[in-house]
Amino acid sequence: LQQLSSFGQRFCADSGTFTLMDDLGKALTVNPDMLFLGGGNPARIEAVEYEIKLALEAILAAPDGIQKMYGNYQSPQGDPEFLEALASYFQRHCGWPVTSANIALANGSQAAFFVLFNMFAGDFEDGSRKQVLLPMAPEYIGYSSSGLCDEFFCSVKPQIEILPGNQFKYHVDFDQLPLSDPGASQGIGAVCLSRPTNPTGNVISDDELARLSALACARQVPLIIDAAYGLPFPGILFSDAGAPWDDNTVYMLSLSKIGLPGVRTGIVVANPEVIAAYTKANTALNLACSSAGPALAKHWLQNDHINTISRQMVQPYYAQASRTAIELITNACADLPVKIHAPQGAIFLWLWCQDLPISSQELYQRLKTRGVLVLSGHHFFIGLEDSGWPHAQQCLRITYCQPRPVLEQAVAILADELTQVYG
C-alpha cells in the first residue's frame, strides 16, 4: 500500500503479535496434525459447554431473548442490567465499593487495553512523552503492539528465585523499578501487569501488589491489573491470592478464559472519571459493545452461578492439566537443565532451558519441523532495555489445554530435541 499515514504504517505493519499468530496459523494449515501447544485459546471443558448451552436455551425460550442478545445496540458503557449485576457481584464477593458507574464493557479486554494505554501514555499536550510500565518482564505479548508511538512500554528484569523440585519464580525487582525513583517516574503514565501472568503462570504476591499499588498511588498513575485468568472469575489460580481494588486501580476482566472468547466481552472496573473517559473513546471506536456476552452471563452473575462454573469446573480442570504437564515434563527432562516457573495460575507452563546453546526461536523452529508448536519466550520480553539478556533467549511457553496423549507426545519430542541441542 502506498501513502499510508503514520498510523497506517504503525498498525498495518507486521507487529510481533501478528507475525506470531500468522506463523501459528500457517503452521497448522501446513500440518493439521501439529501437536499444538502454542496458542492462548481456553480448553474445551464439557461441563462449561453444557452451561453455555443451558444459558442459550433459556435465552431462546424467553420472548425477547433474541432481541436482547442480538437485536439492540448496547448503551455506550454497556447493558445497564449487566453493569448492575456486575456491581452487585463485586460488592458481594470482592467487597469492592463499586456501583455501575465504576464499570464499562469492551469488545474483549484487548480492545480496552488499546484505549486505556493510549489514554494514559504516549504524547502529552505539554510536549512530554510517557510510557506504560510493565513492572516485570516477561509480560503478555498482546500489549506490545497497542501503542500509538515508539518505545511505548518499559519493563524491568525480574529477580529470579530458584525453588526446589526444578522450579523457579520471578519477583518484582523494586530497586530497579522507575516508580521507586521520583525522577524516573515522571516518564511513566500507567502501570500494568497480568495476574496470573501470561506467559509465566506467575501470581505476584499480595504484598508485591500492595507495594506496586502504593507506588502507583504516590506517583498518581493508575495501576492496571489484567485479571483475564484471575479473580474473581475465571479464577484460574492454584494458590491463595486477594483481589484488591481501589480508586487508583483499573481492574480488567474478560469472559474469554471462562470459555467464551468468541463473545468478545471485556470488563473495565475503575473510578467513575476513568470509566466516563474510557466510554467516550470506546464509543468513537466501536459505537457499542457486543450484547451476546452480557446476555449469556447476566444470570450467572445474578445467581452467583459464575462462582460454581469458575471454582468447580474451570479451575479444577486447569489445576489437573497443570499437574499432568508438570509430571510429564519433570519425568521427560529429568537429565536436562530445564526449570519450570512455579505454576500458580493461567493456562501455560513457562520453561527455562538454562544455558541453552541455541536461541529459543531456533528451538521453536526445530520443534515446528518435528510437528510440535510452542511459543518462543523472547516475544514476551517487551520494553526491556537490556535486549541482550541471555535469559530472554532461553524460555518457552507451552499451553496445557490439550488432552494428555497430545501432551505426552509433544513432551517426548521436546525432551528428545533438547537432548540433541544440549549434546
Per CB under 6 A, residues contacting ligand PLP are 40, 108-110, 140, 142, 194, 198, 226, 228, 254, 256, 261, 266
- Closer residue to ligand PLP (CB): 140 or 238: 140
Torsion angles phi and psi, residue 383, rounded to 5 = 70, 15
Taking the complex as a whole, the smallest distance from the CB of residue 23 to ligand PLP amounts, in Å, to: 16
- Closer residue to ligand PLP (CB): 74 or 198: 198
Q: Per the structure block, which three cell numbers stand in for 130?
A: 510517557
Count the Cβ atoms, other than its own, within 10 Å of residue 264: 21
Taking the complex as a whole, the smallest distance from the CB of residue 145 to ligand PLP amounts, in Å, to: 13
- Closer residue to ligand PLP (CB): 194 or 393: 194
DSSP string, 82-105: HHHHHHHHHHHHH-----GGGEEE
Taking the complex as a whole, the smallest distance from the CB of residue 153 to ligand PLP amounts, in Å, to: 14
User: CB under 8 Å, gap of 24 or more: what pairs does 321-328 form?
Assistant: 321/43, 321/347, 321/400, 321/401, 322/201, 322/238, 322/349, 322/400, 324/400, 324/404, 324/407, 325/349, 325/398, 325/400, 325/407, 325/411, 328/407, 328/408, 328/411
* Structure-derived torsion over alpha carbons of residues 278, 283, 152, 37, reported in degrees to the nearest 10: 100
Q: Give the sign of the dihedral formed by CA 321, CA 327, CA 331, CA 335.
A: positive
Taking the complex as a whole, the smallest distance from the CB of residue 353 to ligand PLP amounts, in Å, to: 23
- Closer residue to ligand PLP (CB): 40 or 418: 40
- Closer residue to ligand PLP (CB): 34 or 111: 111
Taking the complex as a whole, the smallest distance from the CB of residue 323 to ligand PLP amounts, in Å, to: 21
Contact 143, 117 (CB under 8 A): yes
- Closer residue to ligand PLP (CB): 120 or 336: 120
Torsion angles phi and psi, residue 195, rounded to 5 = -145, 105
Distance CA 272, CA 101 (A): 5
Taking the complex as a whole, the smallest distance from the CB of residue 108 to ligand PLP amounts, in Å, to: 3
Distance CA 338, CA 362 (A): 17
Taking the complex as a whole, the smallest distance from the CB of residue 366 to ligand PLP amounts, in Å, to: 25
Q: In which order are the strands placed within the sheet that holds 395-399?
A: 159-163, 167-171, 338-341, 348-353, 395-399, 375-376
- Closer residue to ligand PLP (CB): 185 or 235: 235
- Closer residue to ligand PLP (CB): 317 or 336: 317
Taking the complex as a whole, the smallest distance from the CB of residue 41 to ligand PLP amounts, in Å, to: 8
